[in-house]
Amino acid sequence: MATISAAIISAVGTLCGALGTIALTSGLQAKREQRQAMIAAASERTAVKDQARSDLLAAITRLRVDIELTCARHWRDMNVRLAAIQEQALTANVLAARVALLSPGPEAEIAFALGKCASGLTALTAKSMTLGDFDGPNKQFVAGEITGTRPDFAELERLVAAFLRQISPGQPATEPQTAIPAATGRG
């Protein structure tokens, strides 16, 4: 009877040890999988934020180039150019809101300021422009042009630099360069 009891105790001990090891291994595996899922989710959040930031900067850059090109000369399709500028400003504001939702705090404030600046530049461009019409000699079409104040991009450049510093701490943010060089006046 003692040997049977010892054998039962030994078998139960071995069984409990094996079940404990399985439970421990399963618990460690579950924690490892949970940790991997958390790392993957954090990586996905970072990728989404980076894409939103990149999209905002691209929209701001496209808006600036559109405005600079529109100001560069007379255009027969000034109404189409104005519509494109207005659409780009709207896109920039939507993307600024997306960045703000993903990154509240100072980054959101700068993103909203970029959107507001984009809207202001667009409004100034629209206010300063004359659309083409048929008021030329012999009712010829006269191309549209910027007749008023040309937009100043200093505030936009300051905000882009601040945004870059905010999203890349420790990285020196270079000042953005004007997309189109100023005319020298030499002919």
- Assign 143 a pLDDT band (cuts: 50, 70, 90): confident
Residues 145-160 pLDDT 10s: 777 778 899 999 999 9
- Asked if residue 147 is part of any domain, the answer here is yes
Residue 173 lies in a domain: no
Q: Please compute the mean of the pLDDT values over residues 103-114 and round it to a whole number.
A: 93
pLDDT greater than 70 at residue 182: no
Number of domains in the chain: 1
Residue 122 domain-assigned (yes or no) = yes
Give a yes or no: residue 97 inside a domain: yes
Residue 103's domain spans which residues?
Answer: 52-167
178 is a domain residue: no
Residue 11 lies in a domain: no
pLDDT for 16 equals 64
Top-confidence range, 43-47, 77-81, 111-115: 111-115
Q: Is residue 126 part of a domain?
A: yes
Q: How many CB atoms lie within 10 A of CB 23?
A: 10
Residue 44 lies in a domain: no
The mean pLDDT value for 24-36 works out to 73
